[in-house]
């Protein structure tokens, strides 16, 4: 009996060609196939464990880099603030020098207080100091109750106190 290839089944081979059937059966060992699959699964599991360890290492490295980045951002902010303060000190010193304030009115406290002000307030504070400088130019005459300005105008003690009080306020 002839069977077409499209009708060939294991049962037909077993029935019509037992020698071929036995050869096919002996060439495929189910235990060998199971061992091959088991080896593949074990290799995949090992690879997965290595990848998991690598992933954990990368997560830790990423966290460390984030911390370092935050630290560098903080340092950068500090440098920017220091640079800004330094530039402001230079600008304030220039304004004070241009105002030609007497040395005794350029106190450390005054200079530091200027740094806490905005540009407009700085100019106003320096102008106030200029007024103080002008108000205190001159000399005390006789009993000390009169103060003579450089132009010759006299200022009484009461007027002097009034000016000083207005400046303090």
Residues 6+ apart with CB under 8 A from 74: none
pLDDT score, position 135: 79
pLDDT tens digits for range 105-148: 889 999 999 999 999 999 999 999 888 888 777 554 554 555 55
pLDDT score, position 99: 92
| Nearest Cα residue to 98 out of 135, 129, 138, 132 | 129
CA 71/CA 126 separation, integer angstroms: 39
Rg of the chain, C-alpha, whole Å: 48
Number of neighbours of residue 125 by Cβ within 10 angstroms:
17
Residue 129 buriedness (CB in 10 A; 0-12 / 13-18 / 19+): buried
pLDDT score, position 25: 74
Q: Tell if the pTM clears 0.75, that is, is over it.
A: no
Structural tokens at position 3 = 């069977």
């Amino acid at each position: 009996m002839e069977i077409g290839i499209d009708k060939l089944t294991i049962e037909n081979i077993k029935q019509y060609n037992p020698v071929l059937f036995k050869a096919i059966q002996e060439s495929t060992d189910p235990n060998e196939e199971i061992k091959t699959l088991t080896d593949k699964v074990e290799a995949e599991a090992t690879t997965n464990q290595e990848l998991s360890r690598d992933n954990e290492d990368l997560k830790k490295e990423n966290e460390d880099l984030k911390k370092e980045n935050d630290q560098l951002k903080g340092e950068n902010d500090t440098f920017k603030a220091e640079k800004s303060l330094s530039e402001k000190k230079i600008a304030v010193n220039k304004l004070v020098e241009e105002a030609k304030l007497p040395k005794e009115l350029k106190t450390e406290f005054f200079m530091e207080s200027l740094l806490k002000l905005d540009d407009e307030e700085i100019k106003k504070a320096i102008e106030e100091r200029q007024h103080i400088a002008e108000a205190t130019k001159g000399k005390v005459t006789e009993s000390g109750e009169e103060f003579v300005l450089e132009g010759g105008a006299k200022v009484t003690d009461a007027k002097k106190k009034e000016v000083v009080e207005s400046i303090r306020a």
